[in-house]
Every structure is written in C-alpha cells, then in structure tokens.
Structure 1
C-alpha cells in the first residue's frame, strides 16, 4: 500500500478569485479551502497540483497520474463530482470529497459512481489521515473485486472457446472429447500458447475456410 509520505494528491477546488474576498462568506470559503490543504500537508501528503473543474481536467489528471483525488467542493458538490467522475471514468482513482454542502441526497449516487469518502464539514486535521487511509483501502478492495470479476469472466469465455474447439474436432475428426482435448493441449504446448488461444485460432481458421 502507498504510504502517506509517498501518496501523490491532486486537489480539485473552485477558483476562488480575489473578488471572493470582498465579503465575509467569500473569506470563509477561502480560509476553509486553505485549511484543507494545510491539513493534507501537515499529515505528510504530497499535493502535486490544485486544479479547477474545467474541460481540460481529464488530460491534466492523465498527465499528473495522482494516487488520489481530493475534491474540495464549497457548494454544488454534485456538479463538481460529476465532472471528476467523468474525468476518471477510463482510469479509476480513489476520490475523496470534502464539502460544507449538507445536502446529502446524492451521496448514494456519488458512492456508486466511485467516490470512496464523502465528508461533510470534516476538516479537523486529526481526521484527515484516517479518512484517506479508509478511502484508499476501500478503493484497493473494490479494484481487487473488479479484477476477480474480470478474471472470472475471462475464464468463462476461455472455457466456452475451448469447448467449441473440442466440439469441432470431435465432429470433423471423429475424436472423443478426451482425445480432442489432448490434441488441443499438445498444440498449445508445441506453440507455447495458452489453450484458449490455440482453440480460438482453430475456430478462426475454420470460420475462414467455411
């Protein structure tokens, strides 16, 4: 597992311009965002970039290759999450959202979309590391389940291909099921290929020749 000292974070935050400091609410937003970044740094995390939500987010994340994405959403948390989830759709990464938006009606959808932690008003420095540790552990667990599911599907497809190739040999060469399997296995060993690869090549040639 990646340690906090080597964990590379990208913070997705609103662009708080100087005009936001003109009123008390704007000042509070700026201070809250600053405290979040200070808390991350004090806990030993490496912030490699602070990015706005814009049309270039996907390309910037692909270039930076962060280990985790922190979403600092002052308001409109759902809109920010939708952009981040879309930007990481092809290359999933753990996402943690910190927000003051107490409208949690869309939390279920956010978690289903890949958000590992959804933290409302949780900026105490002592809470940051446990939150990120749990988020990373949850992400790694889910990725493991995804790999297991992909492996199971691949194995099932391999079995179907091998069974089709065995059936073809049995029909065309009058072989028993065991003899057809042994013929496929010997061809795989001779060519240094997986059994399913040999079976698929055999089926492809048979389709080509009719």
Structure 2
C-alpha cells in the first residue's frame, strides 16, 4: 500500500550531492543521501524540501510545516537534533534519523529528545517504507497517549476547581454541597458556559474580594 500523497516529508541533510571530488568522505555521505532520496521517491513519498542543518532550520520547518522530518546524517548530530526538536515543539511531528554511525550510545538521548525512529545503516530502499510506516504508527500512538494524559489532567484540574467553588458557596451562602453544585450548574446553563468555567470565574471573584 502506497503512502498517503498528503504525507509531506522534509529531509535534513548536507546541502550538496556533488561535493569536492577530492573529499572521499563527503562523496560517501552524498551517495548515502542520494540513496535515501531515491528510495523515498521510489516508494511514492512526497519530498517537499531538503534543508541543511543550519541555524535557519527551525524557521524553515515552521514555514513548511511538514508531516515528517527525516534526518540523514553520518553521526549523532546533536545540533541538528536540537534544531529539529525545537522547531517541532509547538507542532509535533515524527522525526526519523537515518545514520551509518554504529555507536548506539546516543540512541537513548535521541529518543528522549523526540526522535521517533533511530535507524542505523537502514538506507536500503526496501527498508524505507516499513521503517517510516512504523515510525508514523508509533508517533500517532504516542500522540494519542499524550492527549489522553492531557485530558485526564484537565479533567482532574476542573474537578478540583468545581470542588473549590462549591466550598466557597457553601461557606458564604450557607448551603449544602448539593445546592452549591446546582447553583453552579444553573449559572453555567443560563450563561452557556461550561461548569468548570463558571467555577473558575467564581474563584477569580473570590480572590479579588478576599
């Protein structure tokens, strides 16, 4: 099954595919990068940009807003990771790092920094699609868990806010817990607000009045 044509990929890699012929390492790195791009295209992926790992990377990623970022590097490239993660802080997206660096001591730090998949020597064209499919699935799963956790924290905060608001009404209006809750609920219905919003407004007023 081909990837969705709406999946927009940005590759972060060396600027040139035609380095100085006398620089054997640069030529090797360029061949790696070329192989990765060919593999992506052969698998039907949409490469919207290839960006250098420089100081302007966060700004460029923010402008392009890709669905996935692929880092093509010969080493752990901490600075590149920091730029990509920073750019994805407010618009989270899967980050896949392809490298030939067999030193795996950096994997834990890379994953903690936000890398979804860390692939060593994984540039064979037939491996690219499975790797990206798994990376996207993992990212979506983690985002679902993140949203569930955020929702749970919000619900807990709202319950605490409502409980505090009920306590204020009970003390100042001399009513019981049920009546305090009904007053909050009726106000919320009358004003078209959520119960937690009414409770927070009551707390804000109580703070002002002391």
Within 1, Cα distance between the matches of 2:22 and 2:60?
Answer: 31
CA positional deviation for 1:139: 0.4
SS at match of 2:9: strand
Matched with 1:23 is 23
TM-score by length of 1: 0.94
Q: Distance in 2 between matches of 1:160 and 1:141?
A: 29
Return the alpha-carbon distance in structure 2 between the equivalents of residues 161 and 110 of structure 1.
Answer: 38
Q: Is the CA contact 2:5–2:46 (under 8 Å) kept in the aligned structure 1?
A: yes
Compute the displacement of 1:71 (Å): 0.2
The residue number in structure 1 matching 2:201 is 201
Give the match's secondary structure for 1:118: strand
Post-superposition shift, 1:20?
3.6
The residue that corresponds to 1:139 in the other structure is 139
Deviation at 1:208, TM superposition (A): 1.5
Deviation of 1:24 after TM superposition, in Å, equals 3.1
Deviations 1:141-179 (CA, angstroms, capped at 9, x unpaired): 111111111111111110111001100111111101001
Q: How do 1:91-102 and structure 2 match up within 5 A?
A: 91-102=91-102
Partner of 2:126: 126
3-state SS of paired residue (2:50): strand
Deviation at 1:14, TM superposition (A): 1.8
Query: Cα gap change, 1:76/1:204 in structure 2, threshold over 3 Å: closer, same or farther?
Result: closer
CA–CA separation in structure 1 for the residues paired with 2:77 and 2:54: 15
Check conservation: 2:43, 2:129, Cα contact below 8 A.
Answer: yes
Q: Quick one: distance in 1 between partners of 2:79 and 2:207? A: 50
Given that residues 11 and 69 in structure 1 are in contact (C-alpha distance below 8 angstroms), is that contact kept between their aligned partners in structure 2? yes
Structure 1 residue runs of 4 or more that deviate by more than 6 Å after TM superposition: none
Spell out the pairing of 1:142-161 with structure 2 (5 A cutoff).
Answer: 142-161=142-161
SS in structure 2 at match of 1:9: strand
- 1:112 to partner: Cα distance: 1.5
- Is residue 42 of structure 1 aligned with residue 42 of structure 2? yes
Unpaired segments ≥5 residues, structure 1: none
Q: Which of 87-96 and 34-43 deviates more?
A: 87-96
Query: Which structure 2 residue ranges, 5 or more long, are not aligned?
Result: none
Whole-angstrom distance in 2 between the partners of 1:117 and 1:76: 13
Aligned 8 A contact 1:12 1:72 in 2: yes
Length-normalised TM-score, structure 2: 0.94
> Aligned residue for 2:66?
66
**In 1, are the aligned partners of 2:9 and 2:48 still within 8 Å (CA)?**
yes
